[in-house]
Amino acid sequence: MKSIVVVGASLAGLRAVETLRREGFEGRLTLVGAEAHLPYDRPPLSKELLAGEWEHDQVVLRRVPYDDLDLEFRLGVAATSLDVAARRVSLAGGTELEFDGLVIATGSTPRTLPGQPALDGVFTLRTIDDCHAIRERLDAGARVCVIGAGFIGAEVAATCRKRGLDVTVLEALPQPMVRGVGMVLGEVLARLHRNRGVDLRCGVTLESIEGHGRVEHVRLADGERVECDVLLVAVGVGPETRWLESSGLVLDNGVVCDETLLAAPGVVAAGDVARWPNPAFDGEVMRVEHWTNAAEQGVYVGGRLLHDDGDGPPEPFAPVPFVWSDQYDVKIQIAGRFSGQDRMEVVHGSLDDERFVTIFERGGRISGVLGFSEPRRVMQYRRMIAERASFEAALEFAAAAAG
Amino acid sequence: MKIVVDFDKCTSNAVCMGIAPEVFEVREDNFLYILQEEPPESLRPKMEEAVRMCPTQAISIEG
């Protein structure tokens, strides 16, 4: 393999190029990024950076010089198409890059609302430029309305409260994240925000977003109006695969990969775009939009591209997904797979205390864990999930740990 | 090899503890404790993984 192109210059793409060099790839290595910035870390965009506590230089992802990586950078230029058969990526402006190996790490793009008007003050939050634009409005004392009570919406609401700003959160479902965590934990999440002054309204239907040139208010189906200067649409993301539509790759809510993240010979995907069957969960096909997944997959695909088939089949990518969200003084952590439908048990602390651990059961095994400010415990259960421990064993562990 | 943690950055996600519990321990008080500041060379791959996977990039290796 003489040349490798990595499309996507965020966490997964960076970890991929670092791994390729660490594992001895000496050929031409090109890193393509749609944004003009060097790789930076996204989690702080809804927290420290938005709060005004940190600046850009504190969110750079690589704190040592890039020289060692000997990269050819193509930043501020998006990939527009891929021809797998011809081994060629086309970039905006017409440049074409030929490759022997390709890493697809284009991440995801925020969803917008159907018929969302192009008014000043209406934002999504994905990039550092988005963050700075919103932050400028917060600095000016904006009244904020957030649509969607997922992690991004909740973190932005928490940041606004920390800044002393009024914030309303509108959620279509009866509780925050109810599909993912169920009604009981949804209520706990709702209380976390209401106790700190967020006007959280669940089960509401959005009628329209109105204003003259700039957003003035949101109208709900019951006629209620929510006045705001900033409207953040935080209704999830979709995998950034538009540039791959004519590539010949199989796309289905992401780039469809095998259990080694291979999408085609010499073509791998990593991060939010990759959809793969995870052997750690009986081959459940998943696409994971979290930081840790992007980091782990970036490292993995670097090794995967260099794998010599003469050494036997490569180890599959089989992690226990993990995500954290810091809201106010609470660290929410989730590992594994579960939904609001699965059996849940509180194994440490109490749901009333903002410090607890719940575990989830699927098929007799512990499949997931959710903790509030219990990182030690969450990691212990994450390990049990990886070891495919029975739910009974997890309950016994909990009882023993509780003394 | 010396393990250095920037405790201003560390937010105790305990990812490092998941990777190398013999070196990193987050205790009941939710603070990270380093059990071996100079772990044996045999642990280097795990230490490098902990550096890469730390959500706040709080860990570095000297030497």
Q: What is the pLDDT of residues A322-340, one digit of tens each?
A: 999 999 999 999 999 999 9
User: In this structure, what token pair is assigned to residue A149?
Assistant: 């009570």
The closest CB to that of B26, out of A43, A295, A375, belongs to: A375
* Same domain assignment for residues A16 and A118: no
Residue A38 lies in a domain: yes
Kindly tell me if the per-residue pLDDT of A202 is higher than 90: yes
- Partner B contacted by A324 (CB < 8 A): yes
Boundary (domain end) residue, out of A233, A249, A266 = A233
Boundary (domain end) residue, out of A215, A233, A251 = A233
The closest CB to that of A373, out of B25, B30, B55, belongs to: B30
Residue A139 lies in a domain: yes
> In which band, very low, low, confident or very high, does the pLDDT at A170 lie, cut at 50, 70 and 90?
very high
Q: Span A39-56, mean pLDDT?
A: 97
Residue A76 lies in a domain: yes
Residue A217 lies in a domain: yes
pLDDT of residue A273: 98
The percentage of residues in chain A with a pLDDT greater than 90, rounded to a whole number, is 98
pLDDT of residue B32: 98
Place of tokens 């000297």: B62
Rounded distance, CA A66 to CA A228, Å? 43
Residue A322 lies in a domain: no
Residue A318 lies in a domain: no
- Supply the CATH number for residue A201's domain: 3.50.50.60
Kindly tell me if the per-residue pLDDT of A403 is higher than 80: no
Q: Is B53's CB within 8 Å of A376's CB?
A: no
Kindly tell me if the per-residue pLDDT of A299 is higher than 90: yes
Residue A380 lies in a domain: yes
- Supply the CATH number for residue B37's domain: 3.30.70.20
pLDDT in tens, A251-298: 999 999 999 999 999 999 999 999 999 999 999 999 999 999 999 999
User: Minimal Cα–Cα distance from B14 to chain A, Å?
Assistant: 6
Place of tokens 């010089």: A65
pLDDT in tens, A9-45: 999 999 999 999 999 999 999 999 999 999 999 999 9
Assign A242 to helix, strand or coil. Answer: helix
pLDDT of residue A282: 96
* Same domain assignment for residues A268 and A349: no
User: In this structure, what token pair is assigned to residue B5?
Assistant: 């943690």
* Same domain assignment for residues A162 and A205: yes
Rounded distance, CA A20 to CA A35, Å? 22
The closest CB to that of B26, out of A18, A292, A376, belongs to: A376
Residue A88 lies in a domain: yes
Domain extent, residue B16, equals 2-62
- Supply the CATH number for residue A374's domain: 3.30.390.30
Q: Is there a contact between A297 and A10 (Cβ–Cβ < 8 Å)?
A: no
Domain tally, chain A: 3
Kindly tell me if the per-residue pLDDT of A394 is higher than 90: yes
Rounded distance, CA A256 to CA A335, Å? 23
pLDDT of residue A308: 86
- Partner B contacted by A299 (CB < 8 A): yes
pLDDT in tens, A349-391: 999 999 999 999 999 999 999 999 999 999 999 999 999 999 9
Boundary (domain end) residue, out of A213, A233, A253 = A233
Q: Is there a contact between A33 and A74 (Cβ–Cβ < 8 Å)?
A: yes
Closest-approach residue (CA) in chain B for A401: B28
pLDDT in tens, A213-222: 999 999 999 9
* Same domain assignment for residues A100 and A246: yes
Domain tally, chain B: 1
Closest-approach residue (CA) in chain B for A371: B13
> In which band, very low, low, confident or very high, does the pLDDT at B23 lie, cut at 50, 70 and 90?
very high
pLDDT of residue A309: 83
* Same domain assignment for residues A105 and A242: yes
Rounded distance, CA A328 to CA A110, Å? 24
The answer to whether the Cα torsion of A147, B56, A299, A97 is positive or negative is: positive
Domain extent, residue A356, equals 329-401
- Partner A contacted by B40 (CB < 8 A): no
User: Minimal Cα–Cα distance from A332 to chain B, Å?
Assistant: 9
* Same domain assignment for residues A116 and A223: yes
* Same domain assignment for residues A224 and A116: yes
Beta bridge partners of A333: A324, A371
* Same domain assignment for residues A70 and A206: no
Q: Which residues on chain B are in Cβ contact (under 8 Å) with A324?
A: 13, 55
